[in-house]
A and B are shown apart, each in its own frame.
Chain A
Amino acid sequence: MRQQIKRGYVGERAIHLVLFVCGTLSIVTTLGIVAVLLFETVEFFREVSIVEFLTDPQWTPLFADKHFGVLSLVSGTVLTAGIAISVAMPIGLLSATYLSEYASEGVRRTLKPLLEILAGIPTVVYGYFALLFVTPLLQAVIPSLSGFNALGPGIVMGVMIIPMISSLSEDAMYAVPQSLREAAYALGSSKLQVALKVVVPAAFSGIAASLLLAVSRAIGETMILAIAAGQQPRLTLNPLVPIETMTAYIVQVSLGDTPTGTIEYRTIFAVGMMLFVSTLGLNLISQWFRERFREQYE
């Protein structure tokens, strides 16, 4: 009997240990990402000065005349993410307001999951759509638009991130207590006034958090831009010409056979580091927003 209990105790300890290791693996993953990016980035900056990296207007590490000005890639990322968010923000917020404040419960329950399908479609599919459907369509309106450009994939990426904004904002708006709405109605407010002057301010932290998350998602998106935006790093905010984003550059180098340890190989880690830091920053601000500015109701 005593031995049985002892054996059981040892078993329990072993299981506890195994589960502890599983839980700790996520920390190890983060440390792994930081270590890998940091190591290769430090090696990169032994050969390239930070000043050149941040100020040179050209990015040509794969050519004979090498320039390492990351701004050309950053401008591509900022441009496409900017287009995406200016498509997704109005559509996402209007959809969220409608679903939370106007739609009947049945409509809300049907349309919300339908919208969320947009987030589940693989990004290569969006890339196909941007390159072969949206860009030709836009070319009919804007004849000067190149086959590869920032506008088409930017718009399509905007469609992709609509559900991030609409669902998370709708969650926040739906969670605003009914008594607040009723109080406003009792004072003679119209439905629109309740939505815009009571519900939206009360749900502000959740809405802001959803917008930041959507921007972070757009910055990290890869395949749509690798397929439809081109591979020409260019310091411009013109949406009609081919550009290259940070993510698309990593794909471009990965498709070629770049030997380990060369400066070309290290560029993708330096670019990856910028990508990691900017998305992490946005995610942290988003979390901070949600916790810091949350309105507390009883």
Chain B
Amino acid sequence: MKLAAADLRHMLRLRRGTEFVFKFVAVAALLIALGSLATLLIDAFLDGAGRLSWQFLTSFPSRRPEEAGILSSLVGTVYLILLTALVAFPVGVGAAIYLEEYAASRWYSRLIEVNIANLAGVPSIIYGLLGLELFVRALGLERSLLAGALTMALLVLPIIIISSREAMRTVPPSIREASCALGASRWQTIWHQVLPLALPGILTGSILAFSRAIGEAAPLITIGALTYIAFLPDGLLAPFTALPIQIFNWVSRPQKGFHANAAGAILVLLVVLLLMNALAVFLRHRHQQRLRL
């Protein structure tokens, strides 16, 4: 035997040492990632908490940072997302139903599937270019709320379709078969059995998609949404601004006062996102409990 006990012990110690070093480095990497998240949130809070007040929420933007507020951009964001949801939700769920329950031709549904997966990876600014040519120029909607919402709807559509399909796939086939056996038509089965069971899952995915849209600035800037608006939109064709655009505008200015405003608006945006995500988590939880029955 060439391998003496002492050698073996040495090798084992070496092995345990490498093991320890690797574990240490991996934990450090995780901590760097989570630490960055914490630093980002704390930094925004320290910079912006002082600006949060009723006056900040209810004032229009202004040349003087201490008088400026986010009223027009907050209202713009709310209108924009509601309108986006109104367009994208029915179309997205409809497309998901088609792909899950109808699509007869294999190659066509495969084509749509590959296409949706690729659309989900297209940079958001490219959707802005599409919206600019299609909605702003060709349809003559100008830089309106409607043009913004339609652009955003195209952006979130792939996400809604993908998550709605996943939700509908969790409905057991036995429920569809039972419904058909009782003489229900295809659509009756979908409307009365599949959709009610899949709805919480569909809503969860859709809310997450809309919370992505809330944070998007690039496509809106590309279609020409204005950065300075001191009035509220009064219709579908009114010009508008949104929270991320307002933040971008304030960050881009040299004065410190506007940077504090940007941080304040970031806090408002993060709170809105937090509320939407909490709602999504709540719905998912309820969904899981119902399917267990």
Residues of A within 8 A of B (CB): 8, 11-12, 15-16, 18-27, 29-30, 32-33, 36-37, 40, 90-92, 94-95, 97-99, 102, 111, 114-115, 117-118, 120-129, 131-133, 159, 162, 166, 190-192, 213, 216-217, 219-223, 226-227, 247, 250-251, 254-255, 260, 268-269, 272, 275-276, 279-280, 283-284, 287
- CB of B126 within 8 A of CB of A276, answer yes
Q: Which residues of A contact B121 (CB under 8 A)?
A: 213, 216-217, 279-280, 283
Q: Is the CB of A162 within 8 A of B33?
A: yes
Chain B residues within 8 Å of chain A by Cβ, number: 85
Partner of B218, one of A114, A121, A159, A222: A222
Our pick among A27, A120, A191, A276 for the contact of B122 (Cβ within 8 Å) is A276
A213 to B117, CA, bound (A): 12
- CB-CB under 8 A from A8, the residues of chain B are 185
Residues of B within 8 A of A (CB): 15, 18-19, 22-23, 25-27, 29-30, 32-34, 36-37, 39-40, 43-44, 47, 90-92, 94-95, 97-99, 102-103, 109, 111-112, 114-119, 121-130, 132-134, 137, 154, 157-158, 161, 185-187, 211-212, 214-218, 221-224, 227, 244, 247-248, 251-252, 259, 262-263, 266, 269-270, 273, 277
Please report the C-alpha to C-alpha distance between residue A279 and residue B277 in the assembled complex, in whole angstroms.
28
Question: Provided the pairs A102-B23, A125-B269, A128-B262 are in contact, do residues A23 and B124 lie with their beta carbons within 8 angstroms?
Answer: no
Contact across chains for A24 and B214 when beta carbons are under 8 A apart: no
- How close is B46's CB to chain A, nearest CB, in angstroms? 10
CA distance A97 to B117 in the complex (A): 26
Q: Is the CB of B248 within 8 A of A36?
A: no
Contact A192 B47 (CB under 8 A): no
Q: Are A94 and B30 in contact (CB under 8 A)?
A: yes
A122 to B274, CA, bound (A): 12
A192 & B19 in contact (Cβ 8 Å cutoff) = yes
Q: Are A166 and B33 in contact (CB under 8 A)?
A: yes
| Most chain B CB inside 10 Å of its own CB: which residue of A27, A254, A276 | A254
Closest 7 CB pairs of A and B: A220-B123, A122-B215, A22-B94, A94-B29, A98-B26, A23-B98, A19-B98
CB of B246, distance to nearest CB on chain A (Å): 9
Q: Which residues of B contact A33 (CB under 8 A)?
A: 122, 126-127, 129-130
Known contacts being A221-B123, A250-B129, is A26 close to B39, with CB within 8 Å? no
Q: Are B29 and A26 in contact (CB under 8 A)?
A: no
Question: Which residues of chain A have C-beta atoms less than 8 A from B157's C-beta?
Answer: 25-26, 29
Q: Find chain B residues with CB under 8 A from A16 CB.
A: 102
Question: Nearest Cβ in chain A — how far from B177, in angstroms?
Answer: 18
Shortest Cβ distance from B281 into A: residue: A113
Contacting residues, chain A, for B118 (C-beta < 8 A): 30, 280, 283-284
Further contacts, 4 of them, CB under 8 A, given A247-B218, A283-B117: A26-B112, A122-B244, A191-B19, A222-B123
The answer to whether B222 touches A26 (Cβ under 8 A) is: no
Q: In the complex the two chains form, is B244's CB within 8 Å of A124's CB?
A: yes
What distance in Å separates the Cβ of A190 from its nearest Cβ neighbour in chain B? 5
Point out the residues of chain A lying under 8 angstroms from B103, CB to CB: 23
Structural contact, B125 and A122, CB atoms closer than 8 A = no
A186 to B213, alpha carbons, bound, how many Å? Answer: 50
Q: Is the CB of A98 within 8 A of B27?
A: yes
A16 to B128, CA, bound (A): 31
Please state if A132 and B98 are interface contacts (CB–CB under 8 Å).
no
The interface residues of chain B lying within 8 Å CB-to-CB of A27 are 111-112, 115
Specify which chain A residues have a CB less than 8 angstroms from the CB of B102 in the assembled complex.
Answer: 16, 19-20
- B277 to A120, Cβ gap below 8 A? yes
- What residues of A have a CB within 8 angstroms of the CB of B116 in the complex? 26
CA A250 – CA B33 in complex, angstroms?
30
Query: CB distance B154 to A121 under 8 Å?
Result: no
Q: Which residues of A contact B39 (CB under 8 A)?
A: 133
CB-based nearest B residue for A189: B15
Whether A95 pairs with B26 at a CB distance below 8 angstroms is: yes
Q: Which residues of B contact A131 (CB under 8 A)?
A: 251
In the bound assembly, the distance between CA atoms of A20 and B227 in angstroms comes to 39
Q: Please state if A124 and B248 are interface contacts (CB–CB under 8 Å).
A: yes
B25 touching A120 by the CB < 8 A rule? no
